[in-house]
């Protein structure tokens, strides 16, 4: 797929992976609609990009009514969309005794319900382009049950089910759907700080860099023979089975 002038909507655009992916896609000449909770971070990111037609929208994905409104705003501003990338999410890593209902609702609203609302809301805009794509960011926690991460796993298992089911639903039409089942990455996402992860890396724990992930994702997006799911773990991710990144 030639990405020049493609209209790309990115949620979670100011996160660790999101920011680097936006920078890589900017090199391809895409036109962005960047979405995040922080207007300040969005405006700062926008200033670093070469494209002149890029825009941003602010949305709190923990609030379903804001995501519904976001879908309506996008439909009012755009005639069609080429790519939707759902990156927004939070990492709730707690034993169930410590998980609050707010933790649970925020996790599912941000990481599962929001991609559902947004995809459903703008699906007609995606149908208008023959190469359109919805790319969702999964996790090893969406495949492997993990103690102390029941909330996060539930969200990622659900996103995996949603993405793969929609891939079947739209198998003979557009848009295409793709899930990235990704291993640990050097960002501040989750309960560990970036500094703590770097310390673990020095002790032998394997992490991807967000820059590497961004380049990998752009390659997947551009691939005309794209698969529905990619499983990408660092070499010693620690679960006994993994696929080496290509």
> Which of 116, 109, 111 has its CA nearest to residue 89?
111
Predicted confidence (pLDDT) at residue 151 exceeds the cutoff of 50: yes
> Which of 193, 100, 188, 192 has its CA nearest to residue 151?
100
Q: What is the pLDDT, as a whole number, of residue 233? A: 77
pLDDT band of 36, cuts 50, 70, 90: very high
Catalytic annotation, pick one of 56, 152, 230, 233: 152
| Sequence spans of domains, the chain | 7-231
Predicted confidence (pLDDT) at residue 165 exceeds the cutoff of 60: yes
Once rounded to an integer, what is the mean pLDDT over residues 7-29? 96
Q: How far is CA 200 from the centre of its chain?
A: 25
How far, in Å, CA of 139 to CA of 7, rounded?
26
Q: What is the pLDDT, as a whole number, of residue 193? A: 57
> Which of 85, 88, 86 has its CA nearest to residue 107?
88
Contact 239, 144 (CB under 8 A): yes
Q: What is the pLDDT, as a whole number, of residue 205? A: 60
Beta strand spans in 62-187 (E): 83-86, 133-137, 176-182
Predicted confidence (pLDDT) at residue 196 exceeds the cutoff of 60: no
How far, in Å, CA of 183 to CA of 208, rounded?
8
Q: What is the pLDDT, as a whole number, of residue 243? A: 38
Q: What is the pLDDT, as a whole number, of residue 189? A: 55
Predicted confidence (pLDDT) at residue 232 exceeds the cutoff of 90: no
Once rounded to an integer, what is the mean pLDDT over residues 18-24? 96
Q: What is the pLDDT, as a whole number, of residue 241? A: 33
Q: What is the pLDDT, as a whole number, of residue 239? A: 40
Q: What is the pLDDT, as a whole number, of residue 122? A: 98
Predicted confidence (pLDDT) at residue 194 exceeds the cutoff of 80: no
Beta strand spans in 110-157 (E): 133-137
3-class DSSP state of 208: strand
Q: What is the pLDDT, as a whole number, of residue 234? A: 72
Phi-psi region of 238 (alpha: psi -120 to 50; beta: other; left: phi over 0): left
How far, in Å, CA of 79 to CA of 77, rounded?
7
Predicted confidence (pLDDT) at residue 32 exceeds the cutoff of 90: yes
207 is catalytic: no
pLDDT band of 242, cuts 50, 70, 90: very low
How far, in Å, CA of 82 to CA of 133, rounded?
6
Once rounded to an integer, what is the mean pLDDT over residues 217-246? 71
pLDDT digit string (tens) for 96-148?
999 999 999 999 999 999 999 999 999 999 999 999 999 999 988 889 899 99
Our CA angle for 69, 150, 138, nearest 5°, is 55
**CATH no. of 7-231:** 3.40.50.720
Reported pTM: 0.88
- Average pLDDT in the chain: 89
How far, in Å, CA of 14 to CA of 89, rounded?
12
How far, in Å, CA of 178 to CA of 186, rounded?
23
Phi-psi region of 99 (alpha: psi -120 to 50; beta: other; left: phi over 0): beta
186 compared with 167, residue with greater pLDDT: 167
């Amino acid at each position: 797929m030639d990405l020049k002038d493609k209209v790309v909507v990115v949620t979670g655009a100011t996160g660790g992976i999101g920011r680097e992916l936006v920078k890589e896609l900017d090199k391809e000449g895409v036109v962005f609609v960047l979405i995040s909770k922080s207007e300040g971070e969005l405006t700062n990111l926008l200033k670093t990009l070469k494209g002149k037609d890029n825009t941003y929208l602010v949305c709190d994905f923990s609030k379903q009514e804001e995501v519904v409104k976001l879908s309506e705003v996008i439909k009012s501003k755009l005639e069609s969309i080429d790519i939707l990338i759902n990156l927004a999410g939070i990492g709730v890593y707690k034993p169930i005794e410590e998980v609050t209902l707010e933790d649970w609702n925020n996790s599912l609203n941000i990481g599962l319900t929001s991609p559902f609302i947004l995809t459903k809301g703008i699906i007609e805009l995606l149908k208008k382009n023959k190469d359109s794509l919805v790319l969702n960011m999964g996790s090893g926690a969406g495949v492997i049950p993990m103690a102390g991460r029941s909330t996060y796993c539930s969200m990622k298992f659900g996103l995996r089910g949603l993405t793969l089911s929609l891939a079947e639903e739209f198998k003979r039409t557009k848009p295409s759907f793709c899930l990235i089942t990704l291993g640990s990455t050097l960002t501040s996402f989750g309960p560990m700080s970036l500094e703590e992860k770097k310390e673990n890396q020095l002790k032998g724990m394997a992490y991807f860099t967000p820059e590497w992930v961004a380049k990998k994702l752009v390659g997947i997006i551009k691939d005309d023979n794209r698969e529905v799911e990619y499983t990408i773990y660092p070499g010693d991710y620690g679960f006994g089975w993994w696929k080496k990144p290509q």
